[in-house]
């Protein structure tokens, strides 16, 4: 690094020395021309010119050196002004010094510095905007169940119920809202963990076929209560891969609950699992209300809920984090989660890398 700096410094010095040498010779030539011109005009002035030789030479040297270095000085002034403009906060400004020497590299580095500062500031602004959206989304989604809980507790506290059945109904509704609130807070906690750099996966060799069977066994009673039939195509052979079983279970559960909430009633949810030489593919399909292209693009965004009216009565609306959490979990495992939507037919494709080293 030291050698590189010295090399650049010597190049600048050589440039200045060369300008000095040129100025020196040009000053000599011009001085001689002046002497000869005076001699031709009036020889009596020749002796007096001998005393003016040094001042004339010095004047020509300074003038020539100034002309030869004028571009360097102008570029230095441009660099100085550019730094001042950027320092005032105008990060869109770029220094317009086009050279192939050290000054050109300085200008390039100044522009690169301004660009990186601008990128960093934009990144910080995005983070701040994202934080504000997060706070706004949390406040909006937590307010509804919390208000309901306070309302029911107020009714119970003031004995504003007319029968024991109504008392039990108020109590049950309070409990349901509290469970709903806890579920939303769990989603929020999980989302913040997944989007931080502190997330770690507890990888184990898991039979994904067996895991999916267990999740569907727990899901079927809820589906039946909501007039949803489960159609599954799951092979009897094991499919092993290294995953964090709890997180993968949450991702699949989120997809199943999403299909349950937004399916037409009565309806069908189809689950299919297969594999190839490199991946395990799980497909979850249901029919629901068609989405616009804009809605489809935002479906995996956090806090995005297409339409509250689509949710089934009796199924609590979440915070809009379910699909975002599912995608984050799958991507942490090196997989992908995509949606194919055609006129209300929703097909989610979950792909996980398959590891054959520990199969069986």
Q: Is the pLDDT of residue 1 over 50?
A: no
**Within a domain: residue 119?**
no
Residues 285-295: what's their mean pLDDT?
88
Q: Which domain holds residue 86?
A: 2-90
Domain boundary among 194, 223, 249: 194
Mean model confidence pLDDT for the chain: 80
Residue 2: pLDDT band with limits 50, 70, 90: very low
Q: In this structure, are 228 and 283 located in the same domain?
A: yes
Q: Are residues 181 and 222 in the same domain?
A: no
Is residue 268 domain-shared with residue 340, that is, in the same domain? yes
Considering the domain architecture, whether residues 83 and 135 belong to the same structural domain is answered as no
pLDDT at 37 > cutoff 60: yes
Q: What percent of the chain has pLDDT over 70?
A: 83
Matching residue, tokens 């399909």: 285
The reply to whether 265 and 304 lie within a common domain is: yes
Is there a domain that residue 162 lies in?
yes
C-alpha 232: how far from chain center: 37
Tell whether 38 is covered by a domain. yes
Q: Are residues 295 and 324 in the same domain?
A: yes
Task: Establish if 120 belongs to a structural domain.
Answer: no
Last residue of a domain, one of 155, 173, 194: 194
pLDDT of residue 70: 75
Whether 309 shows a pLDDT value over 50: the answer reads no
Q: What pLDDT is recorded for position 359?
A: 40
Task: Record the tokens describing residue 187, joined without a space.
Answer: 């989603």
Task: Kindly give, in sequence order, each residue whose CB lies less than 8 Å from that of residue 146, ignoring residues fewer than 6 positions away.
Answer: 181
Q: Buried (b) or exposed (e) across 6-28, using 16+ Cβ within 10 A?
A: eeeeeeeeebeeebeeebeebbe
296 and 344 in a common domain: yes
Highest mean predicted confidence (pLDDT) among 132-146, 155-169, 181-195, 301-315: 155-169
Do the domain assignments include residue 108?
no
Q: Are residues 275 and 168 in the same domain?
A: no
Determine, yes or no, domain membership for 116. no
Determine the pLDDT at residue 58: 81
What is the count of structural domains for the chain?
3
Range with lowest mean pLDDT among 148-162, 214-228, 289-303:
289-303
Average pLDDT over residues 57-79: 78
Least confident span in 56-60, 73-77, 117-121, 166-170 = 56-60
- 208 in a domain, yes or no? yes
pLDDT of residue 314 exceeding 70, the answer is no
* 40 vs 175 pLDDT, higher one: 175
Judged by average pLDDT, the poorest of 1-10, 50-59, 242-251 is 1-10
User: Tens digits of per-residue pLDDT, 152-197?
Assistant: 899 988 888 888 899 998 999 899 888 878 877 887 777 777 777 6
Q: Are residues 238 and 344 in the same domain?
A: yes
pLDDT value, residue 215: 92
pLDDT of residue 340: 92
* 155 and 254, same domain (yes or no): no
Residues 320 and 216 in one domain: yes
Cβ-based neighbours of 253, under 8 Å, separated by 6 or more:
215, 219
Domain boundary among 148, 171, 194: 194
Question: Domain containing 170 — which CATH number?
Answer: 1.10.287.130
Percent of the chain with pLDDT strictly greater than 90: 20
With the C-alpha atoms ordered 24, 30, 33, 37, is the resulting torsion angle positive or negative?
negative
Provide mean pLDDT across the span 28-51. Answer: 67
Left if phi > 0, otherwise alpha if psi is -120 to 50, otherwise beta: which for 219? Answer: alpha
180 and 61, same domain (yes or no): no
Is the sign of the CA dihedral 146, 147, 150, 155 positive or negative?
A: negative
Structure token pair of residue 133 = 């959206």
């Amino acid at each position: 690094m030291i050698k590189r700096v010295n090399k650049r410094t010597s190049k600048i010095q050589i440039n200045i020395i060369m300008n000095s040498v040129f100025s020196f010779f040009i000053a000599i030539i011009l001085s001689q021309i002046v002497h000869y011109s005076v001699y031709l005009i009036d020889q009596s002035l020749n002796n007096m010119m001998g005393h003016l030789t040094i001042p004339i030479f010095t004047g020509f040297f300074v003038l020539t050196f100034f002309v030869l270095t004028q571009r360097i000085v102008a570029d230095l002034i441009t660099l100085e002004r550019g730094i001042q403009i950027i320092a005032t906060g105008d990060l869109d400004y770029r220094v317009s010094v086009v050279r192939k020497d050290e000054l050109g590299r300085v200008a390039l580095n100044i522009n690169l510095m301004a660009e990186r500062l601008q990128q960093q500031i934009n990144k910080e602004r995005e983070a701040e905007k994202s934080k504000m959206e997060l706070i706004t989304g949390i406040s909006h989604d937590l307010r509804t169940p919390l208000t309901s809980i306070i309302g029911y507790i107020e009714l119970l506290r003031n004995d504003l119920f007319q029968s024991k059945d109504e008392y039990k109904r108020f109590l049950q509704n309070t409990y349901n809202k509290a469970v709903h609130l806890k579920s939303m807070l769990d989603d929020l906690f999980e989302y913040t963990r997944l989007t931080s750099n502190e997330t770690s996966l507890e990888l184990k060799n898991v039979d994904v076929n067996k895991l999916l069977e267990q999740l569907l066994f727990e899901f079927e009673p809820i589906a039946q209560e909501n007039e949803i039939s489960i159609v599954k195509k799951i092979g009897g052979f094991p499919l092993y891969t290294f995953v964090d079983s709890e997180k993968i279970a949450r991702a699949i559960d989120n997809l199943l609950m999403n299909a349950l909430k937004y399916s037409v009633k009565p309806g069908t949810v189809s689950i299919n699992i297969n594999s190839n030489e490199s991946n395990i593919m799980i497909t979850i399909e249901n029919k629901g209300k068609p989405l616009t292209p804009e809605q489809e693009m935002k479906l995996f965004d956090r806090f995005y809920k297409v339409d509250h009216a689509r949710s089934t009565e009796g199924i609590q609306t979440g915070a809009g984090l379910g699909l975002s959490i599912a995608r984050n979990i799958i991507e942490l495992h090196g997989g992908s989660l995509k949606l194919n939507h055609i006129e209300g037919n929703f097909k989610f494709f979950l792909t996980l890398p398959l590891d054959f080293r520990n199969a069986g």
